[in-house]
Amino acid sequence: MTEHVDVVVIGGGQAGLAVGYYLRRTPLSWVVLDAQDGPGGAWRHGWHGLRLFSPARFSSLPGWVMPGGTDDYPSRAEVLDYLTAYERRYELPVRRLVRVDAVHREGNGFRVVADAGTWRTRAVVSATGTWSRPFIPDVPGRDDFQGVQLHSARYATPDAFAGKRVLVVGGGNSGAQILAEVSRVADATWVTLAEPAFLPDWVDGRYLFGQATAAYRALQEGREPPPRVELGDIVMVPPVREARDRGALGSVRPFVRMTAGGVVWPDGREEPVDAVIWCTGFRPALDHLRPLDVTDAEGQIAVEGTRSVREPRLWLVGYGNWTGFASATLIGVGRTARATVAEIAAELA
């Protein structure tokens, strides 16, 4: 099967849907190719107890505010319901269970090769995110460890760790939230590079987004950004506050190596461990763009805005600030998607 469209969007998560929202306002023909078996992108794989850092009103894609108002911090299930309804509301042409293997140059456009067929297109928007490329540090002895190792990308519930000795590695928000629920059923230790810095209870994602937006606008207008107020890193969503109140948020510095049965701490002490949960982040999922030879040694692609410098009919949305300010967030990706579609429409005109 070969189809011809003006634009192929690769990835049907929040970034792909935001791009689709604006593409539907153009006369261009387009399609969204998604490898998942249902709506939601990476949210389909978040742990069941995951909570957003911002209230629903401040966690919405363009055009439609997420139900829940200003006081409710949506759960993973509520985000999935919203993204499913969003896709249906705007009748976005998402093709599912289509895994893109490679994007090749062909004339003035591209040939997008997937397991379900081939698309010839004049422009490509890559919006595959990072979930499929979890990062685990190369700790000495990690391959020798005989216990359970699990990245946060594959963690679902704490049930399997009940009564176990567990290390939760990583000092970000995912580490804090997963520690909060695992520590209720297991002997859990939080391992972080430095002592975690917790935000005040009154600070959430809407405050952080507002602070970052003020800095972004100042730079865009050639002004000096306002001084950044350093309050901390970890948002005190309800499960994390509950863990703090029962004294479960203490942390220790990293172990130096792993053994078959546990870990060795910096003082030389060896400790038995049943499981390690790695909350150590992700890398951009860009393997499908390898034939274009645009990825650098850091695994990123040089862009101006969201447009590839070396491949001017390729755009990237939703991978982080290097592909648009706050573009990896529900509330931030709309601005990036709007600017991206405006560039595509101008280019293809």
> Mind listing the pLDDT tens digit of every residue in the chain (349 residues)?
799 999 999 999 999 999 999 999 999 999 999 999 999 999 999 999 898 878 888 889 999 999 887 777 889 999 999 999 999 999 999 999 999 999 999 999 999 999 999 999 999 999 999 999 999 999 999 999 999 999 999 999 999 999 999 999 999 999 999 999 999 999 999 999 999 988 887 766 565 656 566 666 665 657 776 665 554 578 888 899 999 999 999 999 999 999 999 999 999 999 999 999 999 999 999 999 999 999 888 778 999 999 999 999 999 999 988 898 788 889 889 999 999 999 999 999 9
User: Comparing C-alpha atoms, which of 84, 18, 123 is closest to residue 339?
Assistant: 18
Give the SS3 label for residue 145.
Answer: coil
pLDDT of residue 225: 62
**Its pTM surpasses 0.85:** yes
pLDDT of residue 325: 78
pLDDT of residue 216: 60
Residues of each domain in the chain carrying CATH 3.50.50.60: 2-132+283-348, 142-198+233-278
- The values of phi and psi at residue 319, to 5°, are -95, -10
Contact between residue 341 and residue 28 where contact means Cβ atoms under 8 Å apart = no
Letter for the amino acid at 156? A
Which residue bears the tokens 């742990």? 47
Q: What is the third-level CATH fold of 2-132+283-348? A: FAD/NAD(P)-binding domain (3.50.50)
Neighbours of 97 (CB within 10 A): 13
Contact between residue 201 and residue 236 where contact means Cβ atoms under 8 Å apart = yes
pLDDT of residue 226: 64
CATH superfamily of domain region 142-198+233-278: FAD/NAD(P)-binding domain (3.50.50.60)
Q: What is the spatial distance between Cα 117 and Cα 99, in angstroms, rounded to a whole number?
A: 10
Question: What order do you get walking across the sheet with 148-151 strand by strand?
Answer: 148-151, 275-278, 165-169, 187-191, 251-252
